[in-house]
Amino acid sequence: MRRILKTTLISAVLLSWLTAGSGTVVGQSLGPNIKDGPQGSIFWDDVPSKVPADARRGQIYWVQERSDAPSDSKGWNVIYVTEAVDGSLTYASGEIYIPTRPDGGQRQLVLWNHETAGSQDSCAPSRRSLVSAYGPRIPGLDELLKKGFVVVGSDYQGLGTPGATVYLNGSAQARASLDAARFAQSFPGANVGPKFTTYGWSQGGQTSLWLAHLQEKYAPELDLIGVGEIAPASRHWDLTEYDLTTTVTGGYYIMRMAGLHVGRVDLKLRDVLSIDGLEMLEHLSSGCWDLAAATTGNPTTLYANQEGLKPGTPWRKLLDENDAFLPTKNVPFVFFQGDKDDAVPVGQTRKVAADLCADGVTVDYRESAGLGHENIVPVAAAALPGWFVQRFEGAKAVSACPRIK
């Protein structure tokens, strides 16, 4: 009897996994204008390669309800329209979380920009559970929902959906993120207005900077009012110079070059990757962190062709273009950075914060002694919900500019 029961339970679990997918449930219709997507991984895999010419950026293609939303909230995966690197329309995946208690009026929107997750489709944040062995996947999500915020985020182009993954291409990722904010405007039950705050960690920190640069031009109907930065991977060239001195970031270097190469048939990866670096590209499709595991311990110089990085070369010009996120919209920023970060050195974040200050932006800079790239995240998660409340209330933001060097 126990063996039969155990077999039945295992079969039920397997059936549930095969039909619903990780973190998803059989969705209930949200109305005649919102299409329920299929359950399981085909929700992402069966997305059409072509977008109708009359589609709008931020238009929802289909949705899939999640089963792991925090208490007193509901969550959905969403396929929606955004721009590809070349400006053509494409589909991207994302997610949205909405409090279930009555809102008593218009809700406020927070836009999350995720960190490096890998480049294989199964690594996409919306395909994964909200809780992992490392803690909450979206920092501060529970507290944000308790405060009544709607939280939305993008997987960015090509991560989760068909097509090449656009990794650390700041302007492209910012457009995907802004289009996630757009789909939140029309999502049933969200009831959000045009004002929003945004925050991001690492890769998502770069997205947030570019988002603040592009919002008024790309999505003028929206209104960004505050930006949270958690150890942002801000500038390609600064990161590249740092990578070439380490034995721990070779995988990031290879991923960045592969991500910037998307849509650029005029450039050759062999101009910035050595033979050893080119051989490592196969790890991008074999697992979320296989590339990091395969390269850690070896000097990044083993994988780089430094000739292609010299000033005036096509690749160096592209790196410089991807670093041109200034000026940003003049809204308050808050930075969280550990001084022991070996992925994004503290000096790089101080420099970005100082540059924003020089542009007249109000910057609150919070540096934590002894913390690195991962354990700075709980510090930010504890502080950001209250900081976002202050932005929507119109409170005067604190400036640390006089002491940032």
Per-residue pLDDT of the chain (405 residues; tens, 9 = 90+): 322 223 333 333 333 333 334 455 545 568 788 999 999 999 999 999 999 999 999 999 999 999 999 999 999 999 999 999 999 999 999 999 999 988 778 999 999 999 999 999 999 999 999 987 777 899 999 999 999 999 999 999 999 999 899 999 999 999 999 999 999 999 999 999 999 999 999 999 999 999 999 999 999 999 999 999 999 999 999 999 999 999 999 999 999 999 999 999 999 999 999 999 999 999 998 889 899 999 999 999 999 999 999 999 999 999 999 999 999 999 999 999 999 999 999 999 999 999 999 999 999 999 999 999 999 999 999 999 999 999 999 999 999 999 998
**Beta strand pairing status for 192-201 and 60-65?**
unpaired
The H or E element spanning position 252 is: helix 250-261
Say if residues 140 and 384 touch (Cβ distance below 8 Å).
yes
Decide: helix, strand or coil at residue 388. helix
CA distances from 248 to 242, 243, 299 (A): 10, 8, 7
Return the DSSP state at 401: G
Give me the pLDDT at residue 31, please: 79
- Give the chain's length: 405
Give me the pLDDT at residue 62, please: 97
Sign (positive/negative) of CA torsion 370, 375, 381, 384?
positive
Distance of CA 384 to the CA centre of its chain: 17
Give me the pLDDT at residue 23, please: 58
Give me the pLDDT at residue 24, please: 54
Say if residues 120 and 55 touch (Cβ distance below 8 Å).
no
Return the DSSP state at 52: -
Give me the pLDDT at residue 32, please: 81
Which parts of 114-249 are beta strand (E)? 131-132, 135-136, 149-154, 192-201, 223-230
Give me the pLDDT at residue 220, please: 98
pLDDT digits (tens, 9 = 90+) for 336-382: 999 999 999 999 999 999 999 999 999 999 999 999 999 999 999 99
Give me the pLDDT at residue 286, please: 82
Residues 6+ apart with CB under 8 A from 32: none
Cis preceding linkage at 327, omega within 30: yes
Residue 402 tokens, joined: 């006089």
Of the CA atoms within 13 Å of residue 99, those in its CB half-sphere come to 22
Return the DSSP state at 5: H
236-243 and 250-261 are packed helices; what angle lies between their axes, rounded to 10 degrees? 140
pTM exceeding 0.75: yes
Of the CA atoms within 13 Å of residue 144, those in its CB half-sphere come to 30
Say if residues 257 and 272 touch (Cβ distance below 8 Å).
yes
Furthest-apart CA atoms within the chain: distance in Å: 74
Backbone angles phi, psi at 158, to 5 degrees: 80, -10
Nearest CA to 126 out of 169, 156, 171, 166 is that of 156
Distance CA 158, CA 156 (A): 6
